[in-house]
Chains A and B, each alone.
Chain A
């Protein structure tokens, strides 16, 4: 079977490019993306400093102290490659996504249309440069495997064309590791076979007998007989909505009013597709070039009014409803992130009434005060009381809490205090001589507490007290470490306080009232 002539486009370090575009980083910044504690991808600047893929984060930071470290997100990779695919589809039809950063196009049509394979490749590179993605490379060969390795061949040349029928010669000097099967590659090396050319010279029947069907398939790849066709993707149905504002609007109520009709259409189109949306992503572009992007969840499914509310909350940030914006808004885009069949979300005839009513009531309060004003609480792990509780906005799902199943030595004994101050309040604790009580490095008190004040005006006599209970957190991290001593004090009136001595200052953390 003849191999299809294929154009493969490769954007080197795509995960890095994606992160730099989303976070607005400079092109020459040393960036690494980590997966667990290991470097997953690194930028060219970081590579110059000696950072390599698969290295431990600490080692990478030692080689390049000014390194910017971000977690690797696969979803971001795929999402940010979408505009590239759309741009290519405008230049030539029938794109197949191989993986984020790499895609394949059948060469025959574009080559005939643009007048040659090299011309077509130049058009492709032009389209990418227009998007602001530089340094991408194109390989043209028989079959996607050869074409991809032609694109990845080191050197200054951005377009490599392997003439028809010369794939085997092109691939012959390349190492067997390129087949992407580490176990097979190791075995072949032990057998004294180091290049694809040597592997392809083995008899196909022998390879099939020894390595089975998958081995035979890799053998045909190595001999330049890549029988995979290019399967063009079906462009996904466009369910997102964009509204451009010309001239830019600088008031939140104007923007939300301008978006209302689009929100109605957005929901109507979803309904036509027999879908409901449980998560959306809103992108807001402003005149000064800032892009604000955020995902919003809904406990059931979005209605048009909910979408408009989310746009308003995103614009609002922490400001008031009728406040002006820093710079004019030029464009608002809503993308459905999570859709579900409408049948699963139809209300039952009985039994769902109460929750519905509660949700409506609380959403009303949210539209009065903002999304983050109505909260539910989840308990997690931690030592301080504020660490242990996670507040989640109504409708969101909890994220980022520490597990409470671990022992957390240093946490408070029960009962927990009934009033926990949002920010610790400054306090004063004096011993019998009137000197501030202090704790030394070894946890010894300078004197027993005799008087204390939590409001800064009246000194109360101490009825009973206990402590110090030392918390020594994250001592391995200079910026984040914390060493504090906690005390429980009861005044003569029977009100108990949880006080904390942190860096020579006394704070009231909570009250047992």
Chain B
């Protein structure tokens, strides 16, 4: 299993770093970041594996990404939902959308969700919980919107099922046992004026509130002018505003 060549090589790279003390701090940082990445990819327990998550949002989530087998709650924004779906869908996961008849398919395709692997159940009616559970049995990521508050017993049954199947549930609206709650604020559109232009790009502050720890937030392009999601470069924006002002 162990290759001597590899060992010698790593020893060789460590030796000069010991000699130069100035580089030690940066190296420790990189080692820490690498360890964090290993922790993220390698599960300590079975239920903490993560699924591919957009890098702009992954840093805000507890555990560094969307976890398998747990529920997340998303407050109102369909674009934020699509930002969460885009990365797993691009990686080949099947996604399901239950009880969201107004889900904009064209926007989803534009943001990189593969429509061939997207299943819609727009009107589950009174059986939404059973339908969500049945869809969650077979698909990797499931979006649902509860038409009413579910009973605690049925929520914990669904949670157990998610954990068993390793399905990530994204709930539009509040959810009692959610891992984290994602919400938008300070949304500002660009490209549109008073009777001219058209909606082009939007900057928002995405806030993630989890059960443990303080809320984390970041300024994101959701979407940017090329229908991509990315973090806002705050310094550049400040400079641009100064130049404009």
Contacts and interface: CB of A to CB of B under 8 A. Distances in A.
Contact of A488 (B78, B137, B138, B192): B192
A206 interface: no
A296 interface: no
9 contacts: A361-B139, A391-B120, A418-B79, A418-B104, A419-B78, A488-B199, A494-B188, A495-B187, A513-B77
Contacts of B82: 418
Contacts of A418: 77-79, 81-82, 104, 107-108
Contact of A417 (B104, B109, B131): B104
Contacts of A464: 189, 192-194
Contact of A364 (B119, B134, B200, B223): B134
Contacts of A496: 189, 192, 199, 202
Given A376-B119, A467-B195, A362 B135 contact: yes
Sorted nearest first, the 5 A-B pairs with minimum C-beta distance are A494-B187, A361-B138, A418-B78, A416-B107, A416-B106
Contact of A465 (B78, B94, B194): B194
A512 interface: yes
B26 interface: no
Contact of B106 (A368, A376, A385, A467): A385
B112 to A, nearest CB: 12
Given A357-B138, A358-B138, A490 B189 contact: yes
B213 interface: no
A379 interface: yes
B110 interface: yes
Size class of the A contact interface (CB-based, 8 Å): 35 or more
Main secondary structure of the interface of B (DSSP, over half): mixed
Q: Which of A360, A373, A415, A467 lies at the interface centre, i.e. has the most chain B CB atoms within 10 A of its CB?
A: A415
B106 A361 contact: no
Interface in B88-118: 94, 101-111, 115-116, 118
A496 B81 CA distance: 17
Contacts, number: 148
B119 A375 contact: yes
A132 interface: no
Interface of A: 357-358, 360-362, 364-365, 368-369, 373-379, 385, 388-389, 391, 394, 413-422, 445, 448, 464-467, 488, 490, 493-496, 510-513
B130 interface: yes
B103 A419 contact: yes
A365 B102 contact: no
A309 to B, nearest CB: 15
B106 A388 contact: yes
Given A368-B131, A510-B104, A374 B119 contact: yes
Contacts of A495: 187
Contacts of A361: 134-135, 137-139
B130 A368 contact: yes
Interface stretch (B27-35, B42-50, B121-129, B237-245): B121-129
